[in-house]
Copies of this chain bind each other. A is one copy, B any other.
Amino acid sequence: MPAAALTDFSRLCIHTITTKPWSLDEAVPRYAAAGVKGITVWRQALEGRDVTASGRLIRDHGLSIVSLCRGGFFPALGAADRAKAIDENRRCIDEAAALGAPMIVLVCGAVPGQSLVESRRQITAGIAAVLPHAQAAGVKLAIEPLHPMYANDRSAVNTMSQARAMCRELASPYVGIAADVYHLWWDDTLETELKASGREGTLFAFHICDWRTPTTDFLNDRGLMGEGCIPIRQIRGWAEEAGFRGFNEIEIFSNRLWSGDQAQFLENIKAAYLNYS
């Protein structure tokens, strides 16, 4: 049985990239005025800004900072480049701490042509290397499995099962999983995997949007909830049965939706959140 419809916005979080045309200064009061309760901040939205002051701005508007998006991209051909990626992830952790974000989402990375097994080894090693820094900063790390169509260039972690294996290996309360319905909806083990992740205490975040048919762009043609085929409410139900009580994060990359009026889009998000999530 699917979960009951959502009836309020107490668990609604929006990723700044979803309303990319808005600066942080514009997005924060708009989200707050709309009754949105959470925000996940993309690092691009912080460029050229004082990070600590940005965190204050967000909290002053009554928004919870859910995550900083995104760290990761650990694999590289040479050890020097892998060390650079680790440094960059330490900076990302510092930025999350300064912002007041309790968590970083990791898009783990891949090297085109490198075996996925080797890339996953490098990802695990990279997370292990930054973990003490994350723990000292009180910042959790959420591995986000990406759709298999991104396996060669964006993430060699493509299933909940692989992310859970990494969590088991790293065995830290600071390492968990960001489950995004866009990447995972097709997987016939998803219910089982979400529930296992819940039992293991690693289900850190839940991202939603929709899958459009036809999809015309590999990156930036995601749909608003209800525009596609993903059984979002059913999957949210599984996450809740798994014990998840965090925010439902709206993360939509869409050239189409970015090109329209963002205030109207925000209203549409709210309606779609209640009707289709």
Contact = CB atoms under 8 A, between A and B. Distances in A.
Interface in A227-259: 228-229, 231
Given A158-B186, A218-B215, A112 B151 contact: no
A214 interface: yes
Contact of A229 (B152, B211, B231): B152
A112 B223 CA distance: 14
A49 B49 CA distance: 68
Interface residues of A, number: 27
Contacts of A116: 186, 188
A267 interface: no
A152 B213 contact: yes
Given A113-B229, A116-B186, A117-B188, 7 more contacts: A112-B229, A115-B231, A149-B215, A151-B185, A159-B188, A161-B188, A215-B218
A151 B115 contact: no
A186 B151 contact: yes
B186 A153 contact: no
Interface string A132-152: 000000000000000111011
A81 interface: no
A187 B148 CA distance: 8
A211 B153 CA distance: 11
A151 to B, nearest CB: 4
Nearest to A114: B229
A159 B190 CA distance: 14
A211 B117 CA distance: 17
Nearest to A115: B231
Interface of A: 112-113, 115-117, 147-149, 151-153, 158-159, 161-162, 185-188, 211, 213-215, 218, 228-229, 231
B148 A213 contact: no
10 contacts: A112-B213, A112-B229, A113-B229, A148-B149, A148-B186, A149-B149, A152-B211, A152-B229, A153-B213, A214-B218
A117 B152 CA distance: 28
Contacts of A115: 231
A120 to B, nearest CB: 9
A81 B214 CA distance: 21
A193 to B, nearest CB: 13
Contacts of A152: 186, 211, 213, 228-229
Nearest to A148: B186
A210 B157 CA distance: 20
Contacts of A117: 188
